[in-house]
Amino acid sequence: EEAAPEAGTWDALPSIPLFSDLPREAFIQLFERCPLRRFGPGERILAQGTHGDAFYVICEGSVRVFREEDGRRQDLATLEVGAFFGEMALLSGAPRAASVESLSDDTQVLEISAAVLATLSRSHPPVANALKKFCRERLLTNVMN
């Protein structure tokens, strides 16, 4: 008789629209390969103007995206579980367009490196297309704000 699969191990994975078309196997591999980073309330996850070589998918909690200009702070968005951020610097090579901080007591984000993204994009092109679409929309929003 075969042993039952370990209860709860993969069932706890959040639903992430960006990866909704990934086969379960590829989805699980992604979680095995990428580090899960945890942040407390108010903790800085990304700093505007810095170099970026990863993007992040929110698995737990929420974050605030904001810009700082002339010492003034402008909030751009609040992102929740399933959303992602940090794709703009990856796709453009430009510095981080905004800062991102944790709003929750225990924000958990999956860190996906440029190298992992490159591999993923080759095997699953819709992932890359979705990233580009959001990047374009966010660029436009920021230019118009």
Q: Among residues 65 and 130, whose Cβ is nearest to ligand CMP?
A: 65
The answer to the question of residue 61 lying near ligand CMP (CB under 6 A) is no
The answer to the question of residue 109 lying near ligand CMP (CB under 6 A) is no
What letter would DSSP give residue 63?
E
Would you give the distance in Å from CA 84 to the centre of its chain? 3
> Judged by CB under 6 A, which stretch of 8-16, 28-36, 118-126, 134-142 contacts ligand CMP?
134-142
Give the CB-side neighbour count of residue 137, counting CA atoms within 13 A: 9
For residues 25 and 13, what is the distance between their CA atoms, to the nearest angstrom? 13
For residues 107 and 118, what is the distance between their CA atoms, to the nearest angstrom? 25
Which amino acid appears at position 81 of this protein?
Answer: V
Q: Residues 26, 28, 76, 116: which binds ligand CMP (CB under 6 A)?
A: 76
Q: Residues 19, 34, 57, 96: which binds ligand CMP (CB under 6 A)?
A: 96
Q: Among residues 30 and 84, whose Cβ is nearest to ligand CMP?
A: 84
Q: Among residues 30 and 109, whose Cβ is nearest to ligand CMP?
A: 109
Least separation in angstroms between residue 38's CB and ligand CMP is: 19
Q: Among residues 51 and 122, whose Cβ is nearest to ligand CMP?
A: 51
The answer to the question of residue 16 lying near ligand CMP (CB under 6 A) is no
Cβ-based neighbours of 24, under 8 Å, separated by 6 or more: none
Over the range 19-42, which residues count as b (16 or more CB within 10 Å of their CB) and which as e?
A: beebeeeebeebeeebeeeebeee
